[in-house]
């Protein structure tokens, strides 16, 4: 398949997640090459396992969809207030029209007007948002009045990504058994990936699955197109 050499160069991807192992080889900044990239880590919380894999899929040096994109991890505990603070941080520090935001978290959650307002503000300022649909095999698109409301997909602001796989028998694509669905889902991407693993080793990679990885894969493709 065609893969442009720009590979996301000059595009910032912000990850609102739980942490990042910046020592992993996947996040090499290409120092000494004729190009380089920025890798930043703003930490309010530290549990790097999920975030390391997510960032690897989007922009890792080995398997990333946009291997030259800038990586900015905002590590939080994913509480409502911490996510809102992350939105404010991005609004203050990121470059509009050159920034993608990935939010690989989902699930049942009350609706908050403050969340919707911040998501709308980010879009109006020129940021592109991606979020995962979730892995409960249920509708993630219930209205805000419903007890089944899901964040972030239910706000219908971000590009919501669910998971699919290649079905060799039918020669087509099939939704993964675990993947959430609904009319707010915008696109499907592979949900089974190889990604960096946050151990003491700088070279660890493991197979992983979930829409948490479908979303950054789509975000990485978007970064490559934008570059």
Q: What is the mean pLDDT of residues 144-165?
A: 96
Flag whether 30 is in a domain.
yes
pLDDT tens digits for 18-53? Answer: 999 989 999 988 877 777 898 999 887 888 999 999
Residue 1 pLDDT: 54
pTM of the model: 0.93
Do residues 158 and 119 touch, judged by C-beta distance below 8 A? yes
Q: How large a percentage of the chain has pLDDT more than 90?
A: 77
**Catalytic annotation, pick one of 9, 24, 26, 50:** 50
Flag whether 106 is in a domain.
yes
Annotation marks residue 9 as catalytic: no
Flag whether 72 is in a domain.
yes
**Catalytic annotation, pick one of 9, 12, 17, 72:** 17
Q: How large a percentage of the chain has pLDDT more than 70?
A: 96
pLDDT at 168 over 70: no
Mean pLDDT of the chain: 92
**Catalytic annotation, pick one of 86, 104, 132, 212:** 212
Flag whether 3 is in a domain.
no
| Domain CATH code at residue 31 | 3.40.50.200
Three-state helix/strand/coil letters over 16-80: EECCCCCCCHHHCCCCCCCCCCCEEEEECCCCHHHHHHHHHHHHCCCCCCCCCCEEEEEECCCCH
Q: What is the mean pLDDT of residues 5-24?
A: 94
Question: At 195, which helix (H) or strand (E)?
Answer: strand 192-196
Total number of domains in the chain = 1
DSSP 111-158: --HHHHHHHHHHHHTT-EEEEE--SSSSB----TTSTT-BTTGGGS-S
Greater model confidence, 22 or 73: 73
Q: What is the mean pLDDT of residues 68-86?
A: 95
Flag whether 7 is in a domain.
no
Residue 2 pLDDT: 65
Residue 28 pLDDT: 84
Residue 203 pLDDT: 84
Residue-number span of the structural domain to which 115 is assigned: 12-226
Flag whether 193 is in a domain.
yes
Flag whether 6 is in a domain.
no
Annotation marks residue 82 as catalytic: no
Flag whether 59 is in a domain.
yes
Annotation marks residue 50 as catalytic: yes
């Amino acid at each position: 398949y065609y893969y442009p050499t720009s590979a996301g160069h000059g595009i910032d991807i912000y990850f609102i997640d739980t942490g990042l192992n910046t020592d992993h080889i996947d996040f090499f900044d290409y120092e000494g090459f004729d190009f380089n990239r920025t890798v930043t880590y703003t930490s309010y919380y530290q549990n790097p396992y999920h975030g390391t894999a997510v960032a690897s899929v989007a922009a890792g040096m080995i398997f990333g969809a946009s291997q030259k994109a800038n990586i900015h991890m905002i590590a939080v505990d994913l509480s409502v207030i911490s996510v809102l603070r992350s939105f404010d941080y991005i609004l203050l520090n990121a470059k509009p029209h050159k920034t993608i935001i990935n939010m690989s978290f989902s699930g049942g959650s009350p609706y908050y007007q403050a969340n919707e307002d911040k998501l709308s503000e980010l879009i109006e300022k020129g940021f592109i948002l991606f979020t995962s649909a979730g892995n409960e095999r249920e509708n993630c698109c219930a209205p805000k009045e419903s007890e089944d409301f899901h964040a972030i997909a239910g706000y219908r602001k971000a590009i919501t990504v669910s998971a699919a796989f290649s079905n060799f028998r039918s020669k087509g694509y099939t939704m993964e058994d675990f993947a959430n669905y609904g009319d707010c889902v915008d696109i499907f991407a592979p949900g089974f990936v190889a990604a960096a693993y946050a151990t003491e080793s700088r070279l660890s990679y493991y197979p992983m699955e979930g829409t948490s990885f479908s979303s950054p894969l789509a975000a990485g493709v978007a970064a490559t197109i934008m570059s």
